[in-house]
Structure 1
Amino acid sequence: MWLNDLAYGRYPDMEKHSAAVKAVRGMGVDAIPILMNRITTTSESPTQLLRSELKRDAQMLQDTQTVSAFEALGPASHSEIPTLIGLLAPQYDAAGESPTEPECWLKYRSSDLAGRVLEVMGAAAVNPLLKALEEKDPRIRFGAVGVLENTYRRSQDDRIVPAILKRLRDEDTQVRWVSARALGSIGVLSETCVPALAECVRNDPEGNVRSYALMALKKFGPRAKVALPAVMAATTDENSDIRSYARDAVKAIQADAPGTR
């Protein structure tokens, strides 16, 4: 099947890959049901997959080729963006489990794959994802933040960071911490992101949110100097993890200061 010829690995057969891309584009919208079916189903039952590392590797290879097929299909697949966003919801639950466990990977595989497909759609997915940040369901808001975090690298859309910044005040704890993580990962607009993250460190009632805010400030490094008072205060927090994250952030923020090397 042409999907199996899409490039994968270190030394792909680019002639076969080019032919596969041409085949995907030639099918156009007729390829969509096949690709969506690959997202929502597995080729084996979970029990069978877990019995063999090779079978799991084969499923992961198939998933990567599915993402490549969506990328090759381009605009013809954009009608599926709303459906793919709806599939993000389980990532909210996956955040509380270990992604390294095979059972967890199988349980949330479709959601993860939907996110990867949205990422390769780039700019076309940005508007729907920004709207998803306003959804009533916190699971959708959570998933949208995570995808936008990675989509920014492709689209460089200047609306993404301000939209995620607003989620630092979300009523849901998990949406707040994933937003803090995203801001640190993207690492731009320090003049607005750093004060907002410092506010989280000072006042957010949830330790998990404060922890991710501190990790984000660490990534901003010397650009986060205005947050130093809040970070220093966190070094005496009653939570030992927060104290550790705060100390790491202080070191990063003061990295260019005299006498800190």
Structure 2
Amino acid sequence: MTEGEKLLKRLKDEGLPRLASEDFPAVVWIFKDPTLFPKIDVDAVNFLPRLDPNTKAALAGEVVSPLVDALKHEDQWTRWNAAILLGFFGTDAKRALPALADVLETRIEADAGLQGKAAAAIWQIGPDARTLPVLIDALGKALDDKEPFVRQPVCLALSKFGPEAKAAVPYLLKASEDEDPMVKKSALEALRNIDPNSLTPERLKSLQPKGP
């Protein structure tokens, strides 16, 4: 077993919080090494958002740039994992927003799964003026897509902008009639945050918690 394989096993067995506290350079190495990163078990890093804030910020400072590069990796799962992990970093990954916006601006058919994960990452990282027009455009393009991969996370991301995202209302109204219940719910919640007056009583009623 190589040193890299041993580190991956430690990450899987011990979990990210413990390994980061005991051997921070090892975690950085795993994220940065192009031969190790594609082999990361995503379940092993699910606790990244719960890292000590200082540790998470320090790790982001080391690995956000390599993760951005991995968005263009030839392997689909590696691209997806990069987007997921950027989202896990939250506001510590703000500088990744332009790259995530670029992913959304590519054609929907190219990799809808990646676009959906990029939109989810933008939602987790937080609103930024540079991403608003890209999100609106992505939702418009995704409305007729048969898969909901992009629509639902884009609705979530737009919701965080509040009234600033008023230009998205026509698209969100259409999305609020989506056959996918998660898209519909996310669109309605976004409309409530962006333009409550656009919601009819019937739409508002559908946002009320269901009784037992």
Structure 2 length as normaliser, TM-score?
0.70
Match of 1:123 in 2: 61
Letter in structure 2 aligned against 1:223: E
Counterparts of 1:1-261 in structure 2 under 5 Å? 35-40=7-12, 42=13, 63-71=16-24, 74=25, 78-80=28-30, 81-82=32-33, 83-88=35-40, 91=42, 108-109=43-44, 112=46, 121-151=59-89, 153-154=91-92, 156=94, 158=95, 160-168=96-104, 169=106, 171-190=110-129, 192-204=130-142, 205=145, 206-254=147-195
Identity over aligned pairs, percent: 24
SS at match of 1:233: helix
Change in CA separation of 1:239 and 1:33 when aligned onto 2, cut-off 3 Å: closer
Relative to its length, the structure with more helix (as a share) is 1
Mapped partners of 2:90, 2:176: distance in 1? 32
CA gap of 1:254–1:142, structure 2 versus 1, over 3 A, is: same
How far apart are 1:178 and its partner, in Å? 1.0
Partner of 1:52: none
Amino acid at match of 1:207: P
- In the TM superposition, what is the alpha-carbon distance from 1:236 to its structure 2 partner? 2.8
Does the residue aligned with 2:178 lie in a helix, a strand or coil? Answer: coil
Q: Relative to structure 1, is the Cα distance of residues 126 and 223 closer, same or farther in structure 2, using a 3 angstrom cutoff?
A: same
User: Normalising by structure 1, what TM-score?
Assistant: 0.58
SS at 1:208's partner residue? coil
Farther-moved stretch of structure 1 (172-181 vs 147-156): 147-156
The whole-number CA distance in structure 2 between the counterparts of 1:77 and 1:207 is 34
CA, structure 1 residues 220+185, in 2 after alignment: closer, same or farther (shift >3 Å)? Answer: farther
Of 207-216 and 113-122, more deviation after overlay is shown by 113-122
Q: Is the 8 A contact 1:194 1:226 kept in 2?
A: no
Amino acid at match of 1:131: D
RMSD: 3.4
The answer to whether the 8 A contact 2:19-2:27 is kept is: no
Q: Highest Rg: 1 or 2?
A: 1
Q: Which amino acid aligns with 1:228?
A: V
User: In 2, Cα distance between the equivalents of 1:245 and 1:79?
Assistant: 37
Tell me, what secondary structure is at the counterpart of 2:72?
coil
Q: How many residues align?
A: 184
Amino acid at match of 1:134: K
What is aligned with 2:204? none
Name stretches of at least 5 consecutive residues in structure 1 with no aligned partner. Answer: 1-30, 43-58, 92-107
Unaligned runs of 5+ in 2: 199-212
8 Å CA contact 2:48, 2:88 repeated in 1: no
Query: Is the partner of 1:122 in helix, strand or coil?
Result: helix
